[in-house]
A = this chain, B = another copy of it.
Amino acid sequence: MSTHPTGKRTGRPRSASADLAILEATRAALVELGWGKLTMSDVAGRAGVAKTTLYRRWANKHDLAVDAVAVLFDELQLPDLGSLRADVEGVVLQFAALLERPEAKTALMAVVAEATNDAALRLRIRSSIVDRQKRLVVEGRRRAQRRGEIPPDPPGTDPAPQIDLIFDVIAGAVVHRTLVSGEPVDATWVAGFTALLLTGLASA
In contact, A198 and B202 (Cβ under 8 angstroms)? yes
In contact, A179 and B84 (Cβ under 8 angstroms)? no
Given A116-B109, A172-B174, residue A165 in contact with residue B150 (CB < 8 A) = no
Given A149-B202, A202-B150, A202-B199, residue A169 in contact with residue B182 (CB < 8 A) = no
Does A161 interact with chain B (Cβ within 8 Å)?
A: yes
In contact, B201 and A166 (Cβ under 8 angstroms)? yes
Give chain B residues whose Cβ lies under 8 Å from the Cβ of A130.
Answer: 180-181
Interface string of A109-121 (1 = CB under 8 A from B): 1101111111000
Give chain B residues whose Cβ lies under 8 Å from the Cβ of A179.
Answer: 112, 115-116
Q: Is the interface of A mostly helix, strand, loop or mixed?
A: helix
Nearest CB to that of A165 among chain B residues? B192
Q: A179–B110 Cα gap in the complex (Å)? A: 12
Q: A189–B169 Cα gap in the complex (Å)? A: 12
Q: Which of A171-197 contact B (CB under 8 A)?
A: 171-177, 179-183, 188-189, 192-193, 196-197
Does A26 interact with chain B (Cβ within 8 Å)?
A: no
> Knowing that A109-B112, A196-B197, A196-B200 are A-B contacts, what are 18 other residue pairs whose CB atoms are under 8 Å apart, sorted by A's residue number?
A34-B114, A35-B114, A35-B116, A35-B117, A84-B201, A106-B117, A115-B182, A116-B179, A130-B180, A150-B201, A150-B202, A161-B192, A165-B189, A165-B196, A166-B196, A175-B175, A199-B200, A199-B202
Q: Could you list some 14 contacts between A and B, CB below 8 A?
A: A34-B117, A35-B116, A36-B114, A109-B109, A109-B116, A144-B201, A150-B202, A150-B204, A151-B203, A164-B183, A167-B181, A169-B173, A171-B180, A175-B180
